[in-house]
A = this chain, B = another copy of it.
Amino acid sequence: MKVLGLITEYNPFHNGHLYHLNKSIEITGATHTVAVMSGNFLQRGEPALVHKWQRAKMAIECGVDLVIELPTAYACATAELFAFGSINLLHNLGVIDCIAFGSEYGKISTLEMIADILFKSPLSFENSLKSYLKEGLPFPAARSKALIDFYKFCHSNGCDEESMNIESIMNNPNNILSIEYLKALKRLGSTILPYTIPRVKAAYHSKNMTSDISSATAIREHLKMRKPLEDLRKVMPSVSHKLLKEAYEAGIAPVFKEDFEHTILTILRRENSVGLAEYFDVNEGLENRIYECSHHCSSIESLYNCIKSKRYTLTRIQRICMHALLNLKKKDLLRFNHEGGPQYIRALGFNNKGREILKSCKSKSKLPIINKINQYIPSDETAKELLELDIRATNIYTLALKNHFFSSKPLDYYQSPYYARK
């Protein structure tokens, strides 16, 4: 058994995901696959289009063997925390041999090198970073410049090809996430072998559906415009498309951030800036900006546009609003992290090979495995709170569903993991 780990959101599962899955199996020679998947709220600070069980079902039906949930605290976090949570979970499973992730750059060695500098954070790099920050550069730009300086310094004779690359590498979100995965592996001293697969940028971000690979963003945009579900047939595996359609028919999809518009605005308007500053990533007076904007904007779109700036990215703003919606405070996140991250393995779906993995985890994993949450007794306060947050996230998410059957019960207590007998 050679087990491959994947870090995913599958929102929804499309041909690009299938390509990544198959390519990853091919280059790693894995026999089994585990996807860590975000639950009902995602890293971009948005609700998922379809709830976590249906997305897990899509993944299993498309060939993933086991889907486990990334706890909400990490699923809706910064790249660094998201990566740390995911890698930590995979590492603690105790059975993962390798992981594979997409990156715009596509070459693991350079990403490893950058991750190494960032992880060790040598003094000259630190000083360089500090001075750029002092100049007023936003953090990503300062970090990128400090990396180039450091690289030049090590390779002494001027601007070589690699250092030219660093800036463009650090400008791409999947590279940054990849570097964070590699940093997390180092932090944990993990022996999991990392692989990267180049993302074909143009195809992934294409807004039209001419190619058979389209970005999840484009798919969601298409759905948001209420364009026909049928158009998505060519960009999604047929079974995934069928399950999406099924979700629409059952009144449990689609869910968009606009479904929480009134609620998010109210929650922000309920608090003063002292209260707003209790959320993660709210500092340097950002709380005042959020306060002002929340009182002058009556749509979620205008709210985000009002708050965002060069310094504060859209994703950061969306994430903060998501934290406010879920009542997730800075102090909670810091405590979770301090206690070592995810505290349990929670299956959302599996097939027979997935069951083999779970069986093997039983002896090898450092974390308890949850199948039904009412049979799980958290070992401590951190585990309890992490799980409570996952449950709370679902209970808030389901209020957006048209089918009230699903918003009238705490779904986590009723929904079993999806089991495909094959």
Contacts and interface: CB of A to CB of B under 8 A. Distances in A.
| Size bin of chain A's contact surface | 20 to 34
Given A299-B404, A409-B296, A396 B266 contact: yes
Which of A267, A298, A299, A408 has most B Cβ within 10 Å?
A298
Interface in A175-190: none
A325 interface: yes
A395 interface: yes
Nearest to A398: B298
Contact of A270 (B296, B297, B327, B408): B327
Interface string A287-307: 000000001111100000000
A295 B404 contact: no
A302 to B, nearest CB: 8
A270 B326 contact: yes
A238 B297 CA distance: 35
A262 interface: yes
Contacts of A399: 262, 265-266, 269, 298
Interface of A: 260, 262-263, 265-267, 269-272, 295-299, 325-327, 388, 392, 395-396, 399-400, 404, 407-410
A395 to B, nearest CB: 5
Contacts of A326: 270
5 contacts: A266-B267, A267-B267, A269-B399, A296-B410, A298-B408
Q: List the 7 shortest-distance A-B pairs measured between CB atoms, nearest first.
A: A298-B407, A270-B327, A298-B404, A263-B263, A269-B395, A263-B266, A298-B408
